[in-house]
Structure 1
């Protein structure tokens, strides 16, 4: 299993993150998902905003090469305020949302490393993806998320996304 290091992204990481975004956009398009990230999204302004918030992270391989990125943002997230055709596993506890996940196609296990990192910071995670993003849907379900319903992105009301939640009970267990 490949070992990855996750660090908070710095402003000088913006260019490599933008390259990862473009690589991920092409991967999505090549795998039947041409609409989730249209050309121009995520924009440099979105990435700069993520960096300014301090919740953008980079994933590096053992050689120090950046092979992935993601945002882990504390909720509430306006897009998650209303869920349709389902319900959240829990809608009362604070949660974090994982956004803008990228990785190089040859870097295997990046998503699992991201989830391991995120679950150490919050036992209540949410994520969403486009219906046509079969790769991400597989990864999300494989890594323990439960499908909860449909949300609409606040940035584009017509943008429907499949919403998932993971609640880790590790923090809930009583130690003997």
Structure 2
């Protein structure tokens, strides 16, 4: 087995990655719906303008590997720096008020086991204080966050939609 068949790395997405990003989000929407979470992303989330803005603003990170000389995207997420307006009001309490980064729109391609965990660990390694949120019906993401050391901090309300706004808020801070 060639070394590059197992080496995972992270890189920023480019517009050339857009078809792959769309395919991974479609895969994630289908998985969510099949596992009892049809409303979190529905059939249109994330919106095209959000996906494009994430790429243009260099927020979209890709977890990639190489198999048989060809790069594969294993997972993707938006890494958002600075205070998230959605997190200003919480029914509960954050671990602290220190600066943090937020993981949004994480999705796995389904090509490799442990991709979401690798994304989360990379964020913790590079930033130390990480927040995330997920839908109450997204048991898979709740499991991923909780088994990777995130504390359930309370409930937040999304600001960018009129209905189905409640999310479970999580934080992990490596002191």
Q: TM-score, length-normalised on structure 1? A: 0.90
Consecutive unaligned residues of structure 2, counting only runs of 5 or more, are: 1-5
Q: Is the 8 A contact 1:96 1:122 kept in 2?
A: yes
Say yes or no: does 1:44 pair with 2:48: yes
Q: Deviations over 1:106-161 (max 9, x none)?
A: 42110111012111221110000000001000000011100000001110254110
Given the alignment, which residue of 126, 134, 141 partners 2:146? 141
Q: Which has the higher strand share?
A: 2
Q: CA RMSD in A?
A: 1.3
Indicate the residue corresponding to 2:23 in structure 1: 19
Runs of 4+ residues deviating >2 angstroms = none
Q: Deviations over 1:36-55 (max 9, x none)?
A: 00111112211101011111
Equivalent residue runs for 1:1-176 within 5 Å = 3-63=7-67, 64-84=71-91, 86-91=92-97, 93-156=98-161, 158=163, 159-169=165-175
Q: Secondary structure at the match of 1:41?
A: coil
Aligned residues between the structures: 166
Consecutive unaligned residues of structure 1, counting only runs of 5 or more, are: 170-176
The range that moved more, 148-157 or 18-27, is 148-157
Indicate the residue corresponding to 1:174 in structure 2: none
